[in-house]
Amino acid sequence: MIRTALWLLAGVVLGGAIHLVVILSLPSLAANAAWARVGGLDALNRAVVLAPALPGEPNPLRLDPELAYAVCRLDLRQGPGMVRGVLPLAYWSVAVYNRAGTVLYSTTNRDGIGQNLELGIFNQDQTRLLAQQQLDVAPGLLIVESREDDVFVAVRLAPAHQVMRKRYEAALGRIVCRNNPA
């Protein structure tokens, strides 16, 4: 009886180890992470407006049906990433993600950046050049440092009414998202 209990206890301990391995390895193994979904779009160096979340249709990115979204992907090996646009007078926000779908940086237009979205994303080498003033950047540029070279950016825009969605999506589609030569 005691021997059986010891075997089961060993099973529980091993189960705890399996649990830790699963939790720690999931980010690198998950095939349906947001990166993979954004990677399925033609969004490298261009802003792609996402189709709205409609009733009865799959919504893998869990989009809010009230908001309009644009995403773009950047490879910082090609140079610092720049995201620029002029957005309507409404609530909008921007977030930068890494491959695991972790938000590296986010802000909203209530943080004093008005209608103009001016975001620069730099990897660590480029940040060092920036600190040494060997990179020219426009004044007022929001500077984001990324430890990884593969990132994607999502811009959320909240139309006050759904009739404004098309106009707002057009504004999202005009966002410039590309690398600047380092």
Residues in contact with other proteins by the rule CB under 8 A: 3-4, 7-8, 10-12, 14-19, 21-24, 26-27, 30, 32-34, 36-37, 53-67, 69, 71, 91, 93, 95, 97, 100-108, 110-111, 154, 156, 158, 160, 162
Alpha helices in the chain (DSSP H): 2-29, 34-39, 124-131, 165-173
CB of 35 to other proteins, least distance (A): 9
C-beta closer to other proteins: residue 121 or 154? 154
Of the pair 50, 171, the CB lying nearest other proteins is at 50
Taking the least distance from each CB to other proteins, the nearer of 28 and 133 is 28
Decide whether 116 or 134 has the Cβ nearer to other proteins: 116
CB 45 within 8 A of CB 74: yes
Query: How far apart (Å, rounded) are the C-alpha atoms in residues 12 and 20?
Result: 12
Residue 152: CA count within 13 A, CB half-sphere: 25
Closest CB 154 distance from other proteins, rounded Å: 6
Helix (H) or strand (E) holding 115: none
- Kindly give the pairing relationship between strand 48-49 and strand 116-123: unpaired
